[in-house]
Structure 1
Amino acid sequence: METRIDEIGDRIYRLSTHVPDIVPPAGFAFNQFLVLGDEPLLFHTGLRRMFPLVSEAVSRIMPIENLRWITFGHYEADECGAMNEWLAVAPNAQVAHGMTGCLVSLNDMADRPPRVLSNGEVIDIGGKRIRYIDTPHVPHGWDAGVIFEETTRTLFCGDLFTHLGNGPAITEGDIVGPALAAEDIFYDTSLGPSIAPTVRRLAELAPRTLALMHGSSYVGDTVAALHDLASAYEKRLRAAMAGMPA
């Protein structure tokens, strides 16, 4: 395996490791995002066992000891498995996450105390502004959240729009169909009453780029893609509810 580096926005780098053994033959990509500024930020740490690959990739962009912020969508191995490895090599780095994630996991699991972010709080990393947005249970996880980089209007979607394969770093093609196909394999989305309204609220941000954790980042009609995904989830929720015994 190797970790591929692509700049998907102004000083925003996608670090992608394709694992062909997961859902072969398509395989599955694990993506982290490095946002450069006076205080560089890493969104997703990668799996603990991927730390050598991902840290080597980051070192080709910047000195890894200069990393200042570490955040992710929710507490899960592929999102934050290497969290403490990053804290060990970057002495000034701090994990930042929402209140729920900090209370239920990170206050205990992170080797240094995390910074608790309120919903809508912005961290100015110098040249970039990172807004944290709570999305509980969307797409899954009580502690779920996303970040929005305001200057480039990049929405870091976490597991939303997850799809298979080792596609290009950036696409303008359909990402909703592939996401629903992956959902039929993984059943990873928490289908509840908040799913569609939460995704539609993200569409109100009018992002330029959707940076996906699994699959190609998207620069097409992002607002339409978010609304289409919300509608598909809503339809699936209604079908599931209709099939429940009275």
Structure 2
Amino acid sequence: MADQPAPPVDDNPWDALRRFTNARIALGRAGSSLPTAPLLAFNLSHAQARDAVHQPLDTAVLHDALRAAGFETLDAASAAPDRDHYLRRPDLGRKLGDTSAASIAAHAGATSEPPEIVFVVADGLSAFAAARHAVPFLTTLRPKLDGWRIGPVVVARQARVALGDGIGELLRARIVVVLIGERPGLSSPDSLGIYLTYEPRTGRSDAERNCISNVRPEGLTYEAAAFKLHYLLNEARRLKLTGVGLKDESDALLATSANPDALEN
């Protein structure tokens, strides 16, 4: 009986661990290279990550979706005139363009009582994240904000996190919350980051913010992220600060709420 030919792919003994992670482990081997299927999957993920960085945010669709969900909206753009400048000049993405600054200031001037919270939905480095997750996250969060005075949702193009400081300052908000597309990874081209800053003003540093990362169905769910943000908002209002002085202890509360019997043990 003739010897059977060796299979073209050598399986990796860690293959069973792949069900626990999206990381590229236990891909197997074909000769001295990767098998075709994981190589093609890597190329696809790389293309999706590049698309996430360069794809423009469809602000008209996002405005319509936010308004349909019951949110008032404003439009804004940074000083970066296009995507190329945005990627090459991060400083331009941190400050408002003159037209947007004037428009937001005019809105603030027509408002008698300033908001406690202003949400900014920004394209950042992944317009996919803002387009896919901002509206469902905000609709998940809104029932938790009973009693809070919420300002308009500002949809921002070519934006970095610090753009929210200028927006919040012009709107005289107590807290600004920036929902922004994070730098895409090879398994997460649509990860949404959430940054909150107490008493926003131009010149705030990253040490004065709190961050909730990887908000998406495959990462931190909308419900879990809303729970954490609600906790941080309440603590920021109580302590009158955000950043390194505000510790996120919401995980312990979330575990308790999921298992009330733990209080008795």
Normalised to the residue count of structure 2, the TM-score between the two structures is 0.28
Larger radius of gyration: 2
**Structure number with higher helix proportion:** 2
